[in-house]
Amino acid sequence: MHADHLCNTPPARQLHTQRPSRLRPFARRALIAATLVLSSLLLVGPGCSKRHYREAADRQSYRILQRFEQKIFGHTNQFTIDTAFSGRDPKSVTPAEILENRQATNGRVLHLEDVLELAVKNSREFQTQKEQLYLTALSLTGAEFEFSPQFFAESEAQISGSPEGSDIGSVRSQVGVSQLLATGGRLSVSLANDLLRYFTGWSSSGRSSRDSAINILSVNLSQPLLRGFGRNSPQVEALTQAERNVVYAIRSYTLYQHQFAVDIVNNYFSLLAQKDNVRNNYTNYLRRAYLTEYTEARAVDRERRASVDDARASEIAARNGYINSVAGYLNSLASFKLRLGLPISEVIRLDDSDLEDLVQVGLIPVDIDRVAGFRMTANQHMDILNAIDRFEDTKRKIRLAADALKPGLLLTGGATLVSEEPYDYANFDLNQVRYTSGIALDLPVNRLRERNTYRASLVSFESSIRSLSLTLDNFKDRIEEGLRTLEQRRLNYLNAQASLEVAERRVEMNDMLFTAGRVQVRDVREAQDQLISSKNALTQTITAYLQARLQLLLDLGMLATEGSKFWLQDPLAARLTPDMRGPGPLQMPDNELIPPDRFLEPLP
């Protein structure tokens, strides 16, 4: 474009009759600079909104998670990290709003399935784990982006000169695309445009200018032939590791989901057991209070004053026991609300029907042989699968470190084409193309750092062998310990049932004997203590058995927490074949005690 089209030259007669201001050249320069900057901005489209970037990141990350979940499990699940605040402008979220939210006082009665749903929705810990998985997938989008066409467009406008000399305005623009290849090479194509305008300044005869425009089309290729070729390329390795990290994160998150559900179930039943203890302790207090009143009435002519004091002391102890149990339950309930992510001020009541269902179902056995149990764990537990794959990672690192010891041989090539007059993007003469090609050789003269990295990778590999073997041994120990603990708690439950029967008969008998004056208050008190202890123990042992069974199923990799009332289901019923069943390491058939030599002096 000619300079006259940019600004109008003042008529000569106006220059003779009116002297230009000293600020006029600077104003002209400002106008020219503004025009150049505007021209450069027109080369760039309107920027994307922040919301667009966020949605694009979510689409890519969720798509990655679905793709890998399908490969790992054969199905996908709905996944999102959005919360009630996610769609809002951060500026609109105030501390006052959060404070008001945490002061909710609504009340509700909760069943265990309601609790699990609330925990998944509100738990801060669970949300953090979801975000960690999302961020791992987000990192993979960056690694994958490196192997996608990298489009770029940039422009720079500036003006330079002096008050008395000529001014130079320039716009330098470049557009192109670059592609990282799976072979470790890179290919790029670019089109550059340099616009220059020389302004000679103002004079009595006006202003003159001249233009210069150059368009350059270039293609460049670089490809390593030895070190860093193909799968040994650092960028290819970064993509491979990022993909494997997503696999590890999905497995770990899935295991966390199951462990989280088991922990919530265990906490819930522990609270129900505490509720039962509170009721038992209150019943115990009422009995002690009645015993005190009855003893005082008999002290008129049939009981010693010491018996009244003994009954009164027992009543006070029962009173303290009840108060302490109430306080302990309320403290545990507050901690449970924190775990669920509910406001502490919210009033909740846990329905006791879940404990009644557990007692009605009874003890569900896990009669798997220890060898079969470990084999099952090794084939499907998420932690073991991750440990095996990380062991494979260290072997791959050795290959990459060894490749870095090779000579570097880089193949380069390029072609450049400059436009001819008139300068436009279509006026290229292919006969004027200039090309270059070459090979750069980097001999392994100094490879101290690479040598150290290679040796360190070998040390790391041997460390990974020990780590993998420790992981396997730990799981084998966990399976055997889980089987022992389960049998121990089964026997404890049976003993608690027998103890309760004895305690009930003893209380009934001592009450009658005390009325007949044949036993002392101490005998009645001891019988009542044993009864309360047996009732509390019975509830605790059945919930403890449930905890051991769920943890064992989780260690076996067999616990599915998605179904309704999964804690009452037996996932092994349809999976165990006759050869997989067998006695546990502490099993006592028919509940008969086995002599200690079998455990303390096992046969070879």
Given a cut of 60, is residue 533 above it in pLDDT?
yes
- pLDDT higher for 210 or 336? 336
Whether residues 451 and 523 share a domain: the answer is: yes
Confidence of residue 432 (pLDDT cuts 50, 70, 90): confident
Residue ranges of E strands in 204-324: 206-224
The type of residue at 541 is T
Whether residues 212 and 326 share a domain: the answer is: no
Answer whether residue 369 is part of any domain.
Answer: yes
Q: Is 197 helix (H, G, I), strand (E, B) or coil?
A: strand
What is the Cα–Cα distance from 162 to 491, expressed in whole angstroms?
98
Answer whether residue 506 is part of any domain.
Answer: yes
Answer whether residue 98 is part of any domain.
Answer: no
Q: What does 147-169 look like in DSSP terms, one character per residue?
A: TS-EEEEEEEEEEE--SSS-EEE
Answer whether residue 429 is part of any domain.
Answer: yes
Angle (nearest 5°) at CA 258 between 253 and 263: 115
* Residue 459 burial by Cβ neighbours in a 10 Å radius (0-12, 13-18, 19+): exposed
Q: What pLDDT, on a 0 to 100 scale, did the predictor assign at position 8? A: 41
Q: Is 601 helix (H, G, I), strand (E, B) or coil?
A: coil
Q: What is the per-residue pLDDT across 268-291, written as a single tens digit (0 to 9) for each?
A: 999 999 999 999 999 999 988 988
Find the range with the poorest average confidence among 75-84, 87-96, 200-209, 456-465: 200-209
**CB 236, CB 183: distance < 8 Å:** no
Average pLDDT of 222-249?
Answer: 94
Task: Write down the mean pLDDT value for the chain.
Answer: 85
Whether residues 575 and 509 share a domain: the answer is: yes
Cis peptide leading into 422, omega within 30 of 0?
Answer: yes
Whether residues 522 and 428 share a domain: the answer is: no
Given a cut of 90, is residue 602 above it in pLDDT?
no
Confidence of residue 393 (pLDDT cuts 50, 70, 90): very high
Structural domain of 425: 3-46+163-181+185-227+408-442
pTM of the model: 0.83
Q: What is the per-residue pLDDT across 135-150, written as a single tens digit (0 to 9) for each?
A: 999 999 999 998 999 8
Find the range with the poorest average confidence among 95-104, 364-373, 475-484: 95-104
Whether residues 479 and 581 share a domain: the answer is: yes
**CB 81, CB 134: distance < 8 Å:** yes
Q: What is the per-residue pLDDT across 25-45, written as a single tens digit (0 to 9) for each?
A: 444 444 444 454 455 454 444
Whether residues 438 and 449 share a domain: the answer is: no
Non-local (6+) Cβ contacts of 346 within 8 A are 104, 105, 106, 107, 108, 337
Whether residues 374 and 503 share a domain: the answer is: yes
Whether residues 202 and 311 share a domain: the answer is: no
Average pLDDT of 477-497?
Answer: 93
Whether residues 527 and 578 share a domain: the answer is: yes
Whether residues 360 and 300 share a domain: the answer is: yes
Answer whether residue 282 is part of any domain.
Answer: yes
273 phi-psi bin (left φ>0, alpha ψ -120 to 50, beta other): alpha
Spell 401-415 as b/e; 16+ CB within 10 A means b: bebbebeebbeeeee
Instruction: Work out the number of other CB atoms within 10 angstroms of the CB of residue 215.
Output: 20
Q: Which of 442, 459, 492 is the last residue in one of the domains?
A: 442
Find the range with the poorest average confidence among 182-191, 369-378, 417-426, 533-542: 417-426
Given a cut of 50, is residue 412 above it in pLDDT?
yes
Q: What pLDDT, on a 0 to 100 scale, did the predictor assign at position 198? A: 61
Residue among 268, 292, 182 at smallest CA distance from 230: 182
Q: What is the per-residue pLDDT across 553-562, written as a single tens digit (0 to 9) for each?
A: 999 999 989 8
Of all helices (H) and strands (E), which one includes residue 551?
helix 521-556
Assign residue 572 the CATH number of its domain: 1.20.1600.10
Given a cut of 90, is residue 406 above it in pLDDT?
yes
Whether residues 321 and 461 share a domain: the answer is: yes
Answer whether residue 381 is part of any domain.
Answer: yes
The 8 Å CB, 24+ separation contacts for 537-542 are 537/496, 537/499, 537/500, 538/493, 538/496, 538/497, 538/499, 538/500, 539/272, 539/273, 539/276, 539/277, 539/355, 540/273, 541/489, 541/492, 541/493, 541/496, 542/358, 542/359, 542/363, 542/493
Answer whether residue 155 is part of any domain.
Answer: no
Whether residues 568 and 500 share a domain: the answer is: yes
Answer whether residue 572 is part of any domain.
Answer: yes
Q: Provide the number of structural domains found in the chain.
A: 2
Q: What pLDDT, on a 0 to 100 scale, did the predictor assign at position 589? A: 74
